[in-house]
Each structure stands twice: as structure tokens, then as C-alpha cells.
Amino acid sequence: MKAGVSIVIPSWNGLDLLKRFLPSVIAAATHYSKESLAPTEIIIVDDGSSDGTASWLAEEGFLEARDSEAGSLPIASEAAPDLTSKANLATVSAPFRKLLKNETNRGFGETCNRGFEAARHALVFLLNNDVEVALDSIAPLVENFADAMAFSAHCNVYEFESGRQCGTGKLGSFSRGFIRVHRSYIALRAGRDNLANGREEWPGIEQLFSMFASGGSAMFDRKKFLDIGGFEKLLNPFYWEDVEISYRAWKRGYSVFYEPRSVVRHRVSSTLRKISRAVVRRAQQRNRLIYHWINLHDSRMMTSHIFWVILLTLTAPFRFQFGYLLAVFSALKRLPEIRRRRRQEKRLSKRSDRALFDIFRTLAERKDVFAYDNTDELRRFTDKTTTVLTRD
């Protein structure tokens, strides 16, 4: 019997998205329970929606829970159920449905943290409300947690509309004053015959590490997530939460994995489309700075970072990047709390920044991966590979 899984979905005015994508989540949870005989639950955390989300979920069988009830519950036992009873078998197969409601909008990080606290199982599959989950996606993610140091594992993501692969393994590095997290890679298949296949296959050679696990489709060890503090509150209301906690976990000695067998389709940024681009951009820039100021501890790298921030700030008016100035000032307002968090993370870190970047430098040099900087580069590589196989 495999581990039980809690599926947490934060949602803000996403009723139409839930109606479209939630059925795939329920189907995947039911499939995992039937195949593994492990319990599942689906927790929707409604972040102060005004579109009737809570009423619709109640009609769909989601039971409202309070924090006082959910938070006091122990982690569910993973002992094998008595399958001689048809009632017990049905209970294992059907995911329990739970609804948590925020009376006011708290933002992505706090809403997710509330879902993790309410979860009953050791593993939490965190999903955006605009993600369609393949039926067999859960079990491969769970397998990664056989590694005692696994913190999280993320899915292989395709764009919902175009079908293009858009979320694979992430490589980390440091350049021009900033941590770079968006260079990607795919795992090359074990055999040439599998290269023409539309999906990556587990190469069975070495572990597939990833710089960060996207909060839109990743599984986490609940205890480790809560033990290191959950999503950073200084990043409210949104952006960089998943990158920051992944880096923090790496520095604490844990590992983040990419699982190519777990496939989802994502309608990218469905919720953020409702918010002004300027507001989103400023939040992204501010939180990127806070992420560095808390977690970048190497003195030479930090000196480089400060130099580049000063340079970008001084030149922002000439580049008509006035939003960047607002982002810097907004981050500086939080400096006392940032310093406190920085001291805390330096004390608790077990892995240096350079040691972490060495992990990904070694990964990028492996012969069983293809590293790329953008999806066009990936598409050209895929087309070239398919052409060679066709000629052969």
C-alpha cells in the first residue's frame, strides 16, 4: 500500500475553472486510490471568492471545515484498510472532499499554507485550479518520496491550449548578480525507439533534480513543508513562493525532483489575468529581491547581487522602468523582517549556495539530459530528433 495523498487547490473567483478542471483531479485521485489502496482527499481553499464557488462546491459534495477542526486532526494512518468490506473499499476509492473558506482574500501563499495545515495525509499534491491532471499522474510523484530527503516532486507540464511542453526540470545557476532558475531540461529516453514517443520515460540512471517545484502542480512532504515554515509570508499576496521555498528546502539539505511520468495540462496564469499587469510585474520584481535577501548567503555572490540591484535602480528611470523603483522601495520597507528571516535561514542552512549550484552544473553536463533556455529551442530539438529517427 502506498502513501495517502491530500490534494490542495487554492482558488479565487475560479468557479468556471473548477467546473472545467476539477473532474480530472477527482478522477486521478480515485484512480490512485483504487490502484494503490491508499486514501485520498481533495481540499479546496476558497480565497474570499465572490462568484459562488463555495455554494457550487457544497452542491458537489464538499464539506466545509474549520481550522480548529482540521488543524487538530492527526496525520491519517497509512495502515492497510480492511478490504473485505465493500463499504471500506468504496471509502478508500472515493476521495474525501473538504472546503475551507477565507472570509477575505489572503493571497496565494497564506491560502496554500492553510490547506497544508488542514491536510490529513503525509503527502500533499498542490494544484492550481486551472490544471488538468492525467489519470495516472499521482503514483509516479509518490515514488520520489521513497528518498528520505525528498522535499517535493513536480510534474511534466504541457500548455492546455497549444499542447506544447512548457514545464520540465529546472536548472539553477548564478549570473550577473541573480540566481537563475528558469533554464530547463528534459530527460533523454533510455532507448532510441522511445525518442519518437510523445512522453519522456524514466531513464533509470540517476535522479532528476529540479531547482524548484512549481506550486501549480507539485507534490510535497507535508511535515517538511510545515517544519520549514511553509510559503514565505513576506511574499504575500503572490509570486515566487514556490521558487523561494524550494531554494530554502535545498539549503536545509532536502531535495526537489522532476517527475516526467506525471503529466498535467495547464491553462497558464488564468487567475493572474484578472489582475493588472503592472501590479503583477511589481510583485514579481519585489519578491525576487526578497527571495535573494533572505536566502543568498555566499558573501561574494551577495556583493555581486547588491552591485547589480544598485545599477538597475540607478538606470531604471533611463530605461523607463519606474515600476522597478517601486518594487525596490517596497522590498526595502520590509528590510527589518527580511534581516530577521535571513539570520534564521543562515543558522538553519546545511548546504551552501555554491554546493547547490554545483549540483545543477553537474546535472546540466549529464548525457541523459537536454538543457534548453526557451520552448522554441526545445521544439527545434524535438523536431530534429524526430526527423533523424524517421530517416533511420
* Domain-ending residue, one of 251, 274, 297: 274
Task: Give domain status of residue 312, yes or no.
Answer: yes
Task: Give domain status of residue 390, yes or no.
Answer: no
220 and 292 both lie in a single domain: no
pLDDT at 192: 35
Alpha-carbon gap, residue 206 to 22, rounded angstroms: 34
At a CB cut-off of 8 Å and minimum separation 6, what does 89 contact? 81, 83
Q: Which three cell numbers stand for residue 162?
A: 497549444
* Domain-ending residue, one of 214, 247, 274: 274
Q: Which three cell numbers stand for residue 294?
A: 533572505
37 and 185 both lie in a single domain: yes
Alpha-carbon gap, residue 327 to 283, rounded angstroms: 7
Question: Are the CB atoms for 18 and 92 separated by under 8 Å?
Answer: no
pLDDT at 83: 46
Residue range(s) defining the domain that contains residue 182: 5-274
The total number of structural domains that make up the chain: 2
Alpha-carbon gap, residue 271 to 320, rounded angstroms: 27
**Mind giving me the DSSP string for 262-307?**
EEEEE-TTTTGGGS-HHHHHHHHHHHHHHHHHHH---HHHHHHHHH
C-alpha 224: how far from chain center: 15
Q: Is 81 exposed, middle or buried (0-12, 13-18, 19+ CB in 10 A)?
A: middle
Total count of residues recorded for the chain: 392
291 and 159 both lie in a single domain: no
Alpha-carbon gap, residue 197 to 316, rounded angstroms: 47
214 and 347 both lie in a single domain: no
Question: Are the CB atoms for 246 and 153 separated by under 8 Å?
Answer: no
320 and 215 both lie in a single domain: no
Task: Give domain status of residue 81, yes or no.
Answer: yes
What count of other Cβ atoms lies within 10 Å of the Cβ of residue 154? 30
* Beta partners for residue 125, in sequence order: 7, 219
CA distances from 355 to 174, 250, 351, 362 (A): 12, 10, 6, 11
Q: What percentage of the chain exceeds 90 in pLDDT?
A: 74
267 and 281 both lie in a single domain: no
Print pLDDT tens along the chain (392 aa): 689 999 999 999 999 999 999 999 999 999 999 999 999 999 999 999 999 999 999 999 999 987 545 544 445 445 445 444 555 555 567 899 999 999 999 999 999 999 999 999 999 999 999 999 999 999 999 999 999 999 999 999 999 988 889 899 999 999 999 999 989 999 886 433 333 344 445 444 468 999 999 989 999 999 999 999 999 999 998 889 999 999 999 999 999 999 999 999 998 765 556 677 888 899 999 999 999 999 999 999 999 999 999 999 999 999 999 999 999 999 999 999 999 999 999 999 999 999 999 999 999 999 889 999 988 898 888 877 654 433 44
- Give the CATH number for residue 22: 3.90.550.10
Alpha-carbon gap, residue 376 to 392, rounded angstroms: 24
Task: Give domain status of residue 29, yes or no.
Answer: yes
264 and 328 both lie in a single domain: no
* Domain-ending residue, one of 274, 300, 320: 274
pLDDT at 269: 65
- Rounded to a whole number of angstroms, the distance between the first and last alpha carbons of the chain is 43
pLDDT digits (tens, 9 = 90+) for 357-392: 999 999 999 988 999 998 889 888 887 765 443 344
Task: Give domain status of residue 21, yes or no.
Answer: yes
The upper half-sphere exposure of residue 201, i.e. CA atoms within 13 Å in the direction of its Cβ, equals: 12
The upper half-sphere exposure of residue 235, i.e. CA atoms within 13 Å in the direction of its Cβ, equals: 29
Task: Give domain status of residue 362, yes or no.
Answer: no
CA distances from 300 to 92, 176, 297, 354 (A): 53, 12, 9, 11
β-strand pairing of 169-175 with 178-187: antiparallel
Alpha-carbon gap, residue 335 to 109, rounded angstroms: 20
Task: Give domain status of residue 381, yes or no.
Answer: no
Question: Are the CB atoms for 137 and 259 separated by under 8 Å?
Answer: no
- The DSSP element (H or E) to which 311 belongs, if any, is helix 299-315
Alpha-carbon gap, residue 30 to 39, rounded angstroms: 9
User: Is the model's pTM score more than 0.75?
Assistant: yes
266 and 243 both lie in a single domain: yes
Phi-psi region of 159 (alpha: psi -120 to 50; beta: other; left: phi over 0): beta
pLDDT digits (tens, 9 = 90+) for 146-203: 999 999 999 999 999 888 898 999 999 999 999 999 899 998 864 333 333 444 454 4
288 and 243 both lie in a single domain: no
261 and 290 both lie in a single domain: no
187 and 142 both lie in a single domain: yes
At a CB cut-off of 8 Å and minimum separation 6, what does 48 contact? 12, 101, 102, 103, 104, 105, 106
Please report the beta strands in the chain, taking only residues with DSSP state E, as ranges in sequence order.
Answer: 5-11, 40-47, 63-64, 96-102, 123-127, 131-133, 150-159, 165-167, 169-175, 178-187, 217-221, 255-266, 369-372
83 and 224 both lie in a single domain: yes
Q: Tell me which residue of 24, 23, 25, 64 sits closest to 45, measured CA to CA.
A: 64
Task: Give domain status of residue 301, yes or no.
Answer: yes
